[in-house]
Amino acid sequence: MELFEAQPHAVGPSLALHGGAGGRVEELAPEARAAYEEGLLAAYRAGWQVLAAGGDALDAVCASVEVLENDPQFNAGRGAALTATGQAELDASVMTGSGLAGAVAASKYAKNPVRLARAVMEHTDHVLIVDPDAAFLERHGLEVVERDYFVTGQRRQQLDRLMDGRVAAGRHGTVGAVARDAGGRVAAATSTGGMAGQADGRVGDSPIVGAGIYARDNVAAISCTGHGEAFIRGVVAYDVAARIRYAAEDLAYAIRATFDQELGDRGFTGGLIAVGGDGRVVVAHNSPAMFSARGTGPEPALTT
């Protein structure tokens, strides 16, 4: 397992984001590293701009994730992985350290699913909505796109190779961000196209509070990526937070313990990013690769 930490800087903000964990497929080969680094940097800087201006953690994580959703290199928004029938079904969630949460599963028309998840949190009495129609988006002032907007040539090629049996790894991926702002508030956001070749209607961990996302002030904010079913079964994001809250475990130790018990011992892979209540940032994964950016200032450390 690889684990990276960034120490908190006094009482200033902290930010981390990930662009997915898993085995590399052709379109995620090492020679494309520079393009992925540019995407991660752009997303980090969007979130950091919010934090540096005194903005709150929720605005920061949404700003970072939206940039990644708009970048077709990542498995979220445009360029998301496709289902077995060649469609994009998008999942996203947001959660604040005060306990508010919103999520969407099998979204088909929202250009930015993270905005839709936030709208569910802020403008409805619900936490999770499945397959909302275009009218729902329009009522909440969200940008509507046709379904083919999300589909790229690279993802079609990936699906073709997968269905033909030419590739069996690197099927999953997700994007997400976690932040602690100058006021000590934490928040998390996660967005994904799911697993390449998944059944239509399959939902992974990304929109499930406690599995792919969790946040609680003075404890941690967590965003996960990897084999979604394993993260759901192990309630991974919440398990990490519970270890910190109830057993007073260190953030890094809690992550290692949860990964060992819920993923590694069961043969599953994935990763997560977390920011503690003290601003400490941890990036961890037991998969072959994970794209991430982390820091407590305007220039992040990158892992690609």
Catalytic residue among 96, 152, 174, 192: 174
Give the domains, in start order, of the chain with CATH numbers.
Answer: 2-303 (3.60.20.30)
How do residues 129-181 score in pLDDT, each as one tens digit?
999 999 999 999 999 999 999 999 999 999 999 888 765 545 568 999 999 99
Q: Whole-number mean pLDDT of the chain?
A: 93
pTM: 0.95
174 has catalytic annotation: yes
pLDDT in the model for residue 25: 43
How do residues 46-81 score in pLDDT, each as one tens digit?
999 999 999 999 999 999 999 999 999 999 999 999
How do residues 219-253 score in pLDDT, each as one tens digit?
999 999 999 999 999 999 999 999 999 999 999 99
Q: What percent of the chain has pLDDT over 90?
A: 84
Burial of 249 (0-12, 13-18, 19+ CB in 10 A): middle
Q: What is the DSSP string of the chain?
A: -EEEEE---TT--EEEEEEEEE---GGG-GGGHHHHHHHHHHHHHHHHHHHHTT--HHHHHHHHHHHHHHSTTSSSSTT----TTS---EEEEEEETTS-EEEEEEE-SBS-HHHHHHHHHHHSS-SEEES--HHHHHHTTPPB--GGGG--HHHHHHHHHHHTTS--S-----EEEEEE-TTS-EEEEEEE---TTPPTT---STTSBTTTEEEETTTEEEEEEE-HHHHHHHTHHHHHHHHHHHH---HHHHHHHHHHHHTGGGT--EEEEEEETTS-EEEEE-SSEEEEEEESSSS-EEE-
CA distance 173 to 76: 8
Residue 126 has pLDDT above 90, yes or no: yes
CA distance 302 to 220: 21
